Structure 1
Amino acid sequence: MDQRLWKVGELADATGLTVRALHHFDEIGLLRPATRSHAGHRLYTADDVRRLYQIIALRHVGMPLREIAQALDGPGDDLVRAVDRQLEHVDQVIGRQSQVRQRLLALRHGIHQAREPSIDQLIDTMEAIMNAGYFTPDQLTRARRRHQDPGFAEKFGRWQERCAHLVDEINIEIQRETDPADPAAQALARQWDEAMREMVGDDGHLLSAIYAKIDGKGPEAATHGILDAHAWDYLKRAFAVGYGHGR
């Protein structure tokens, strides 16, 4: 049995996490070190490292820290269900990529047969490529339905104004060099999260896809100029520090 103990800095260096992240995991009860040194420093055991592996693995596939805690601390089948949900999400991503592959194969076949692809084929393929890395077909269908709802345009305009105002406030905190862990920054991060959830109808999977698109395309392109790169980086750091505190 491995009897080694890791100090928080050593574990951070070994895993690529930050000391702040490990402190945060301790504060929210997600990963509390089994023991402490005589000086009061955190010391992690092999069992702690195994739990951290599970946390990182589940976080990597997009599970919120709050759900990870419930899965690890609940009955064994809670963890199984949590992993099953993430597997379902991965399967959806694979399905989207498979659709793109089929369209590309059809285009290549047409080219080899010396036939020019139709405009409809090109448009369908471009749409599939643009959305494959972010949204499932079901998510796109639900989003289109929301856009068709009466009054959506007016609601969307108000949402854009609200988000633009939040970005202005976030940039003020950036200029002030406010730490993302500061209550003022955390309040802005919560307001942003609430605004985004309102826009997607509190659909967590759709929100995750939108955030992936922002990361993939860049915040300005993905949000049509509402969100800039500095504000997005600041928000992500605020999310990382504050996740699990009421969000």
Structure 2
Amino acid sequence: MPLTVGELARRCGLTVRTLHHYDAIGLLKPSLRSDAGYRLYDRTNVERLHRIQALRQFGLPLADIGTVLSGPEQPLGELIDRQIAQLDRELDRAARLRSRLVALGGQLAAGQSPDLAEWLDTLELMTMYEKYFSPEELQSLPLHNDPDVLAHWNALIGEVQAAMDRGVTPEAPYAHALALQWMEAVQRGTGNNPGFITRLKAMQDNEPGIRERNGITPALERFIERALVDARLVIFERYLGPSDMERMRANYGAHMYDWPPLIAEVRGAINAGVPPTDPHAQRLARRWMELFRAYAGDDPATHARIREAYVNEPDLRSGSSVDPAMLAYVRSAIEAMG
């Protein structure tokens, strides 16, 4: 039986205004109209609304949801499985917090003075994250809500610090391996979201308490940066001659932290369906080429060899969210500029 907008809003817990907004932006248009012209929603509309609300819970903005739903349709069963997995993670977090509170309450009931340090540290970390991420974003940030990811980070940080303590240099093959593992951990910890990398870096720089707790000291951070640059230069040596490598050694890595926000913007344009011929896509492509030429120079033959390296060597892209499809998108935008 078709539902009016008021009935649908009441049954699903949304407001009529929200459903009208979904209709206005083309996200959820009623399939039917009554004789009097009222919106009527059928079973197909309800299924689409379920998809919209599920994607919102995963942290996607409405513009990206529209893009996702306009593409190949994910089976509803798979979407529900993702929702169940997310709820399982939330239940796990709630259970761990409940366990802490039960222990705290038990101590208080026994007249003991509880040690609040660990609990307060946890609350402080949560507050720090909330300065930089919305609640919806935190749900999709594995580094914040996945205990396995956090445990892997802690172990890797300890391994890097131990290597530094033993006198391992950033140029050593072992340091290269650690740096590439680090970038894989970045990719996993951010859910492969390049926009999160910039905010995590800002949080790391602006919140002293973060460094005190995670052990990523400025010295450790510099070690990883140098090891990563050197590891990737070793890869580039397979594709470039001596003169190109001399320029690469002088310039590669100089704009390391300028790339993530640009990559995030390009990913956003792709997800929003912005064509490479659009002026916005071409502005992004120009910025991309400025950063690229800063270390690659202006020789088209060198550019081709570097592009070949990026396509063939995943370690050059790890942790960045750059994939062959993104490189092709940027290249198409450049070609469209003539």
- Largest Rg, 1 or 2: 2
TM-score > 0.5 by shorter chain: no
**TM-score (norm. length: structure 2):** 0.32
Q: Larger relative CO (CA 8 A, sep 6+): 1 or 2? A: 1
**TM-score (norm. length: structure 1):** 0.41
